[in-house]
Structure 1
C-alpha cells in the first residue's frame, strides 16, 4: 500500500516534564511572537490526515490550538514511548483509515515540512516497519513513522517488560533511518531537528527565525 498523508495520523509529543526549561510547557514558550506549538502545528498539520496533541494535566490550556488532547495511556511520565503508544491508540480509534502514525517533538520548530513524505518513501523502499530521522549521524527517534498495527506489541513491551527507551523497542523491528540535510538560513546552516530544551536555545531559535 502506498503511504501518503491520507493514511497517516500524527501525534505531537508534549508529555514531558521540561526540567531543563525550568518546568511547565516548553511548547507554550514564545518564539517570534507566537507559541512554539503554533510553529509546530503549522508544519505538522499539512503532512497528516489527523493530528492529536499528547500532553498530560489540564487539557484546557491548549484550547486555543484547536487540537484534540490525549494524556499518556501509561502512567508515571514514562517517556516518549508512552506518547507514541498514546498516539497509536488515538489513531486506531479516531483515524481508522490511518495505518501509520507520524510523531513530532513539540519543542523543535524547524523540522522539515516534507518529513512524512520522505519517511514514507524510505519505508516503502526498504519494506520497513518504522522510520526515524537522522542528522549529522545522530538519530532523532521521536521524529518517526510507526505502523499503527504495532500498538499492542508496544503496550506489552511497556507494561510487561517495562521498556522505556525508544531504541530498545525499535531494535525489534525493521527500522529505516532517514538522513535530512541542514536548512540554509540567513543566520547560517541549521539542523532541522534543533530543539529548544533550554532558555538559551530559545534565543538561538529566534535568530534562525
Structure 2
C-alpha cells in the first residue's frame, strides 16, 4: 500500500493500492502511518512496516530487524549511531495495528512528533550500521540525487 495525498492515478504504474490520509490538513508522517494501519486492519493484518519513498538505500533486512527489536507494545523503529549519538529514523518502523485508535486520538489532539509518540509506546530500536554510509540517507535536493548516484556505486 502506498500512502499519498492528491491524485492517486499518478501512481497507477506501480499497481499498488493508494490510500490518502484519513485526517484533514495533512498532519504529517503519523497520519500516513495511521492510513496504513487502517488499511491493514481492513485486510486482517496485525501490523505494518513503513518506509520513506525518498530513501533508496534502506537495509534489505529492515523488516526482520524491526521484528527482532519490538518493544513491549510491539512497536519498533530504525536507528543509527553517528559518533556515539543515537539517531532515530521513525518513518522506518513496525507499527502494530492494535495501536491505531491511540494514534488517531493523539493526532486529533494535535500530536505531530513521531518520536514523541513512539517513545510514549516504548518502541524498540533496530540499530543499523552507517558503514559505509547511512542507509537512511534520503533525497530532497538535486545535490542529494548526485550524492545518491555516488553512493549507488558503493552499495
Instruction: Answer whether TM exceeds 0.5 for this pair.
Output: yes
Offset at residue 122 of structure 1 (A) = 1.6
Q: In the alignment, which residue of structure 1 is the partner of 2:150?
A: 207
Query: Is 1:77 aligned to residue 26 of structure 2?
Result: yes
Which of 111, 120, 135 is the equivalent residue of 1:192? 135
Offset at residue 191 of structure 1 (A) = 0.8
Shift >4 Å, 4+ stretches: none
1:9-65 CA distances to partner (integer Å, 9 max, x unpaired)?
xxxxxxxxxxxxxxxxxxxxxxxxxxxxxxxxxxxxxxxxxxx00001111111111
- Tell me the TM-score normalised to structure 1 length: 0.68
- Tell me the TM-score normalised to structure 2 length: 0.91
Aligned Cα root-mean-square deviation (Å):
1.2
Offset at residue 172 of structure 1 (A) = 1.9
Q: In the alignment, which residue of structure 1 is the partner of 2:50?
A: 103
CA–CA distance in structure 1, aligned partners of residues 68 and 118 of structure 2: 19
Q: Is the 8 A contact 2:80 2:88 kept in 1?
A: yes
Stretches of structure 2 that go unaligned for 5 or more consecutive residues are none
Q: In the alignment, which residue of structure 1 is the partner of 2:118?
A: 170
Q: Is the 8 A contact 2:46 2:98 kept in 1?
A: yes
**Equivalent pairs, count:** 148
Q: In the alignment, which residue of structure 1 is the partner of 2:130?
A: 182
1:138-168 CA distances to partner (integer Å, 9 max, x unpaired)?
1101100111000011111111x11111122
Stretches of structure 1 that go unaligned for 5 or more consecutive residues are 1-51, 184-188
Q: In the alignment, which residue of structure 2 is the partner of 1:60?
A: 9
